[in-house]
Structure 1
Amino acid sequence: MSEVINKVLDLAKRRGIFWSSYEIYGGVAGFYDIGPIGVKIKNRIVELWRKYFIRDNNDLVVEIETPIIGPAKVFEASGHVESFTDPIVECKNCKRVYRADHLIEDTIKKSVEGLKPEDLTKIIRDNNIRCPSCGGELSEVRLFNLLFTTNIGPYTGNLGFLRPETAQGMFTAFKRVYETSRQRLPIGIAQIGRVARNEISPRQGLIRMREFTIMEVEFFIDPNDTDINNVPLHRFQDIKFNILTAVEKEKDGKPQEFKLEEAVREKIIIQPWMAYWMAVASNFVKALGINDFYFEEKLPYERAHYSKQTFDQIAIVNGIKVEISGHAYRGDYDLTRHMKFSGQDLTIFRKYDEPKIVKKKTLIINNVKLKEKELRKKVMELINNRSVEEVEQLIKNNVKIDDKPLSEFLSVVEREEKIHGEHFIPHVVEPSFGVERTLFLTVVNAYREKEGRVILSLPKYLAPYDIAVFPLLEKEELIKKSIEIRDTLSDRYDVLYDEVGSIGRRYARADEIGVPFAITVDPQTLVDNTVTIRDRDSWKQVRVKVNDLQISLEKLFRGEALNKIGIEVKDSNE
């Protein structure tokens, strides 16, 4: 774990951002409490995500909520029961269990993602990799399913799972949302909710957890609509992507820059709508204050079982590279599977601009010749689950039943029909963010040190408090005036009020949780009704009239320079 991450973990615990859950019992790996300051930052990140993915796309996206627990059938259909696995290996001596691919990568410094258990076992043997805890011999590698299991209701055998993603609730609710909303494609269904994954080796704070929150969109599209002009890429005309393609990745190459439309037209991104949401994600991540990132294409063996193409958005913060979002083109996998397992019709009707005349083959059964019950049974068993074309071929091949040609009982005729449209299964594009991971990376990215002190240099709109109000001294007149200012500003801003300790310590506390501006009431305030406004990052201060505070703060939050709104003063209380 890097030095910066250790410092952030210390700051997070000290200032109430996050800490390990169940501390009084020694903690449980992979579970974290989000503290009072962390919840404020997290909620602002969630609202920022809503702005970029839902409100700014309200012509395309609606938001729903679905349960955390689902019946086993749902996750059998989704493929999670079969495929949601990671490789594990156990020490034969101390019985500790490790995630095999991570253990190998940490030892030989080479990616082994996607390799089969037997291949991982061979690498462990060839490199004499031992248990990091006791040095004991390791077992054969096997697969471990990451689903948390539960029982729904008091009845045994009514198995359920805690969802590992919010997606399945959106897929099972798709037809209902479609019918009650726009009744046309494309349509996005967004959801923010808790999920659970029984991770083998949770690590690096909020990077890999066993319970966390996901923000994601399942965006349903007509696969036949291939006109790039129907995707509003013009909203992102100037955007460029740094993409590490699968081809370059296999050659140990580096990310290359692509314009948005260039990446689509050259089929670097195979589905235009995925490029659209990657552009939205780029703007969102920049709004978090993270400007250094690229998209890495997953190789075929690295992709999830449902994916036709996947990109991870890799953020580079304080020297570390971490996935901040995932973007998958899921095709029709999910709806097809849920149709199969539920028996319900999840197709959409595509109406033609004008009716089409089509020739359609129809199977005709000669009921007169099939009066005999046993003979009818044999014929029906033969044609059961066969298409009309397959039955026609049987007739042409002179297949016989009880020495009688099939043509005596069946015939195929071709007729013209006028059809007005067709049913199809929508395809899905999915952008997905983990909230706690996003919170963690935002905090790590914002971490600064200045003259031996810590500053959390968050974007203003993500700070837990907009402003702080401090009386310089614990004097009744100053405290009364400070409370008056706090109450006036609280209608518009989230205000931190603190009167305990030296002003320098209060500034330091505000800096460490990222409060962008501090207003200080001092003895001069009582003389000329002015206060100082202090900037978190520069530590510079200006003096302004109390009556002008609202206007001054509005200008600062719009990005105007501090020295433009008041008279700069030197502070001796840092």
Structure 2
Amino acid sequence: MSEDTAADGDAATSEKLVELAKRRGYFFQSSGAYGGVGGFYTFGPQGASLKGNLEDAWRDRFAVAEGNMEIDAPTIMHEPVFEASGHLDGFDDMLIECPECGTSSRADHLVEDNTEYEDAESLPIPEVEEVIAEYELSCPECGAGLAGVAVEDFNLMFATNIGPGDAQPGYLRPETAQGIFVEFPRLKEYARNQLPFGVTQIGRAYRNEISPRRSIIRTREFTQAELEYFIDPETDDPDLESVADVEVSLYPASEQNAADGDEIETTIGDAVEEGIISSPWVAYFLGVAKPWYEAVGVDMDRFRFRQHLSGERAHYASDCWDAESEIDGNWIEMAGFAYRGDYDLSKHEEYSDDRFTIFKQYDEPKTVERATVDPDMSYLGPEFGGDAQAVVSELEDLAARDRSAFEGDSVEIDLEGETHEIPVEKTGFAVEEQTEAGEHITPHVVEPSFGVDRLVYTVLHHAYREDEVDGEERTYLDLEPEVAPTFVGVFPLQSDDELEAQANDIVADLRAEGLSVTYDDSGNIGRRYRRQDEVGTPFCVTVDYETIEEREAQRASDSASGDEPRADETTVTVRERDTTNQKRLPVDDLAETLAAIREGDLEFESL
């Protein structure tokens, strides 16, 4: 029997997990034959399967169950997209370079690793430089002092060229979100121009990290699962009642800034009512995410939502909460839940030639006053030449924004930094009554953005167990059945033609039921159990001589009675991973029984 000595998962360390992951085919550094490249990892057979299962679980909850659509956009986009999104100017990390050995490090990470500062990312660069000098921090590679060394912004995007010759500059996307935002003019048509609606995407993103570390926790290529949910901020409200009772551990900015601040245990409903979470939409998605994380295997005793401090929020976010998991005593970000407002759509409308709004029809037509201009082009043309149309645009914007500017004899406009005066009589300015059926509004965006690689790491770390079975030490992964890479291992007890034939028949039946199955006839049965325990396979089926004897006895009985052969009544041994308990179950019902257990409709112990 099993006596678990680490039921809470504390036996796991990153070193043990990384070694297991490499040995059992979960993940390992890419291009090892060439020495490897920092920040790039390959998911092996087990890891790719676990990752795919987690992505499917995310898709089921955040796309299918929420009624959202899914797209798959390119991973390379040309420069204007990122100029509009702000990533060219505002997607930076703090770089410090050792003057002795040239090693580049993230300055905020050096501060966090060697001082009491926990969120150095939120500090301005001058303050980070002061902390480095105050604590006399040194290069992690050669030990040279870094006091007085300048900290600089380093843009994280990978640059490339699109096409030959005078190629267009492009970038590997640093987030999947922009692939959704730039397609909004078409996506809104698929949503029949009705708010709210959501668009999901699961795909690769790329960030040229200064110092990738901690295996797949911080890499240069990773997978994101993102939802961009478009709302009318004036009329659209989330279904808070459905998540109001979800219990959460929150670490708001106010507690982080307090000398004795701590996490707050509350519910989603109370957190909104008390103003801890300001956006009901962000609160809704936190309430959806919490039970989902628990369902896929994240330890809720090592899980919380932490609000971003003002200095660490992305340039597009007015508020953001991270889902964090505890790993080896440190909290890591697994997902961000950001209220992006109308930043993205407004920017893309400003920089592109398309409209990133939705027409909102009024219940009844309204009569409104509108300021309009009808400029005298016979005046503007000779006066401004090729800039005449730009002047018209400026006049239109000014009339809509501030009609009082046209009350004098002339009106001032700004054109490429120069101020110009134009006679009001030449602008054709007028205030007219118009009947309107609706208006164009720019939707706001709520974004739950999940890091899939970090979720894989967290699920493995939180599932790691060490115990003792029959006096022998054992390592196993307590993975949830719905995400485990392999659900069933099937073994013939020994090398025997009859045992192997029966085992192969069972493998075929289980796979036909849609279960992930592995067949193993190598080594003694105990070693085969240990192998499957270590990769987290929930159940093992062993075909033994009792199975064969039962089959022969049934054949003999059927032959003696002269009746039609009965359904297969033979049994096999089924072993459960966590407890190592075993039961004999009928072969004829095995596939259906195990499928029901995987779906949560049956409990193994109740069989």
TM-score (norm 1): 0.90
What's 1:299 paired with?
A: 309
- Give per-residue Cα distances to partners, 1:172-225, cap 9 Å, x unaligned: 011101112332011111001111110011111111010011100111111221
Offset at residue 563 of structure 1 (A): 4.1
Equivalent residue, structure 2, for 1:270: 278
Q: How does 1:305-316 map to 2 (within 5 A)?
A: 305-316=315-326
Classify 1:126/1:416 alpha carbon distance in 2 versus 1 (closer, same or farther; 3 Å): same
Deviation, 1:517, is 0.6
Provide the C-alpha distance between the structure 1 equivalents of 2:16 and 2:35, rounded to a whole number of angstroms. Answer: 21
CA distance in 1, matches of 2:393, 2:539: 75
Deviations 1:357-409 (A, max 9, x none): 21233446689xx87986899999998724237886456445599xx995665
Amino acid aligned to 2:267: K
* Distance change (3 Å), C-alpha of 1:135 and 1:443: same
Equivalenced residue count is 555
Structure 1: which 5+ runs fail to align? 566-574
Correspondence for 1:501: 523
Query: What are the Cα deviations for residues 438-471 of structure 1, in whole angstroms up to 9, with x where unaligned?
Result: 1111111111011121111100111111111111
Q: Is 2:535 aligned against 1:513?
A: yes
The aligned counterpart of 1:569 is none
Between 523-532 and 303-312, report the one with greater CA deviation: 523-532
Instruction: Show the counterpart of 2:456.
Output: 439
Is structure 2 residue 447 aligned with structure 1 residue 430?
yes
Contact persistence 1:395–1:405 (CA under 8 A)? no
Q: Structure 2 counterpart of 1:299, which letter?
A: L
1:178 to 188, 202, 206: 188
Classify the secondary structure of the residue corresponding to 1:301.
helix
Matched residues in 2 for 1:392 and 1:535: separation? 76
RMSD: 2.7
Q: Does 1:457 align with 2:481?
A: no
Question: Residue in 2 aligned with 1:388?
Answer: 399
Alpha-carbon distance in 2 for matches of 1:486, 1:384: 70
Whole-angstrom distance in 1 between the partners of 2:87 and 2:43:
28
Q: State the distance in 2 between where 1:188 and 1:176 align.
A: 13
- Would the aligned equivalents of 1:318 and 1:445 in 2 still touch at CA under 8 Å? no
Deviation at 1:413, TM superposition (A): 4.3
Partner residue, 1:571: none
Corresponding residue to 2:36 among 27, 33, 36: 27
* Offset of residue 232 of structure 1: 1.8
Matching residue's letter, 2:24: R
Deviations 1:540-566 (A, max 9, x none): 10112222323432453336443432x
Name the structure 2 match of 1:132.
Answer: 140
Instruction: Give the aligned residue type for 1:479.
Output: E
Matches within 5 A, 1:100-499: 100-111=107-118, 112-138=120-146, 139-225=149-235, 230-252=237-259, 253-290=261-298, 291-292=300-301, 293-317=303-327, 319-363=329-373, 385-386=394-395, 387-388=398-399, 393=404, 396-399=407-410, 406=423, 413-451=430-468, 452-492=473-513, 493-499=515-521
The alpha-carbon deviation at position 79 of structure 1 amounts to: 0.7
Three-state SS of the structure 1 residue aligned to 2:72 is coil
- Which residue identity does 1:258 align to in structure 2? T
What displacement does 1:257 show? 2.7
CA gap 1:137/1:498 in 2 versus in 1, 3 angstroms: same
Change (3 A) 1:320 1:299: closer
Report the 3-state secondary structure (helix = DSSP H, G, I; strand = E; otherwise coil) of the residue aligned with 2:278. coil
Mean Cα displacement is larger for which, 357-366 or 271-280?
357-366
Aligned to 1:41: 50
Gaps of 5+ in 2: 1-10, 413-420, 551-569
* 3-state SS of paired residue (1:65): coil
CA distance in 2, matches of 1:436, 1:222: 32
Partners in 2 of 1:381 and 1:459 — Cα distance?
Answer: 61
Greater shift in the superposed pair: 410-419 or 31-40? 410-419
Q: CA deviation at 1:118?
A: 2.3
Distance 1:320 1:85 in 2: 23
Worse overlay, 327-336 or 467-476: 467-476
Which is further off, 295-304 or 549-558?
A: 549-558
Q: 1:327-366 CA deviation, whole Å, 9 max, x = no partner? A: 1000111111111111321111111101112123344668
For the 8 Å contact 2:372–2:400, the answer to whether it is kept is no
Q: Deviations over 1:414-441 (max 9, x none)?
A: 4322111111111100001111111111
Q: Which amino acid aligns with 1:388?
A: A
Q: Give the deviation of 1:238 after TM superposition.
A: 2.6
Query: Contact 1:66/1:169 (CA < 8 Å) preserved in 2?
Result: yes
- Output the CA distance in 2 between the equivalents of 1:207 and 1:338: 31
- Partner Cα separation in structure 1 for residue 325 and residue 539 of structure 2: 28
Q: What amino acid sits opposite 1:272 in the alignment?
A: P
- 2:565 is aligned to none
Query: Percent of aligned pairs with the same residue?
Result: 40
1:65-103 Cα distance to aligned partner (Å, 9 max, x none): 110001011111111110111011111111111111101
Distance in structure 2 (CA, Å) of the matches to 1:130 and 1:371: 67
Q: Is 1:7 equivalent to 2:48 in the alignment?
A: no
Larger displacement relative to structure 2 (145-154 or 377-386): 377-386
Q: Who is 2:566 aligned against?
A: none
Q: Does 338-347 or 373-382 show the bigger shift? A: 373-382
The code of the aligned residue for 1:78 comes to S
TM-superposition CA deviations, 1:50-76 (whole Å, max 9, x none): 111011112xx1000110001011111
- Cα distance change, pair 335–374 in 1 and its aligned pair in 2 (3 A): closer
| Candidates 79, 82, 86, aligned match of 2:89 | 82
Which structure is richer in relative contact order (CA contacts within 8 A, separation 6 or more)?
2
SS of aligned partner of 1:238: coil
TM-score (norm 2): 0.86
AA in 2 matched with 1:552: T
